Structure 1
Amino acid sequence: MKRFLQYVALTAYLIFLGFPLVWMLSTSFKPPRELVQLHPSLIPDAPTVNNYVQAFTEQELGRAAFNSLQVSLASALLTVLVALPASYALARFKTRLGTLALGWVLLSQLFPFVLLIIPIFLILREVQLANTHTGLILIYVVWALPFALWMLQGFVRNIPRELEEAASVDGATRLQVLRKVVFPLLAPGVVATALFAFISAWNEFFFALVLLKSPDLATLPVTLARFVGIEGTARLGPLAAGSLLATIPSLLFFAFMQRRLSSGSLAGAVKG
């Protein structure tokens, strides 16, 4: 009976999480007449693909999706490359500087980024990165690094020191220990960090809106916002179609990466 109640609760939770996506799918196929009904139905009475056609013809969703994909992948890669050695140093070397650095990482999460947008814009403008994807990528990396460091150093602490000591006794250098013992065992943490950095950059709107002025550089969230008029009236059909298409890459990225979440288990780390 307990197991049955657990399954019921899990099913209800999945329905709760998935219903907005299902409703967005339904809305994307509804004609304008059904979108203004007082009591809309989940299944469209007269399904149409005109919303998808309008979403692609009126706004350059393809280019915006490509821009977002470039920025998100680069941000995730750079975040992992910076956070991986830094998190190892924070977790393994107990120094006063490391403790202060970890405290600063936590403290930095308290700053609202809306207060930093003006100095960030001025700095990027001085180095001629204000209207470039490179500047946006740097902002996303700095934005994701505190949480990535905090998360990865927790994974490093869970790796027994005995594995590193055993490798050192066998004659491995510090670099070989990191490359052949530590980093493979950090695969779940690296995957989780990459997922966090990718999805954060993929969904981010505010910095992309302020820093990117050229229409051909706009990311997907900024392009989708153009379906909302000045008076706040949204064109629900094309907006739902574009939003649904915007969720697909992040879902595919998560599906691709989640298989590797268990690849860094400690099983097989020591010879049997």
Structure 2
Amino acid sequence: MEKTIQELIRKMEEQYNITVLLCCESGSREWGFDNPDSDYDIRGFFYHNDKSMYMTALDSPDYLGQIDYMSKDRIIDFSLWDIKKMFKLLAKSNPSVLEWALSTIVYYEKATEMEMLRKVILKYTCRVPLVYHYLNMSRNNYNRFIKNQMRVKIKKYAYIIRAQVSALWLIQNSQVGQLMKNVPDLINKVKLPEKTRKLFEKVVELKKQQKSELGIINSISDLDQVLSDLQGDLFSQIEKKRNQIIKDYEIDKKTQNKIKFFNKTFFNLIN
């Protein structure tokens, strides 16, 4: 499969006249609960070889900020962002930017450029928006797919667990660059009641054992209650740490010359 992915990258570079900086995994394979039916969620960054694309404030009709591709069998799902888009989202601490930069499954990268880019991403990503991103992801998925449901997709349980343990890790640790992507590892690293930990581990194993991504099971009442309780507890923990969290956020907002620094990095990459 990696040879197929490499070939697709080369074709994209030729077709769109771009240079791909990074192609990595950003799905169940990266999170540690893939099954035989799991697809390849490939994400990353690129820049246009035609530098005129970046020389004006207004985007030209030929400018592409994002390139998407889905294989006919739907096994390979590509979504690549132009670095101009990436920097705009980095300024808002977009979680996808950090997750892709920290991916442990890399299919392709330009090492020197990505070393530079990762340093910038880690320096300018604030954990506060990340925590709320994961909490909102957890709450929305719970209310939509779990609450009051008799039958649920096992992967929805797994996604909610991933969001909650990621939020918990960020509440307990200030270094966003050390955020782990593997959910089983996160479950073992964060502070959780033993009952909760065992339930989470059980769900991850169930997800991995499913022969299909569409695996549906009866709802697990104990787990539903744990997820609901933990969601409330996570928001309570944020309230208790409000002063420190606000301080972190204010420091991030006051970072001097952020845009100037982004521009310098941007032009160092494309030249």
Q: Structure 1 length as normaliser, TM-score?
A: 0.26
Structure with greater helix share of residues? 1
Larger of the two Rg values belongs to structure: 1
Q: Structure 2 length as normaliser, TM-score?
A: 0.26
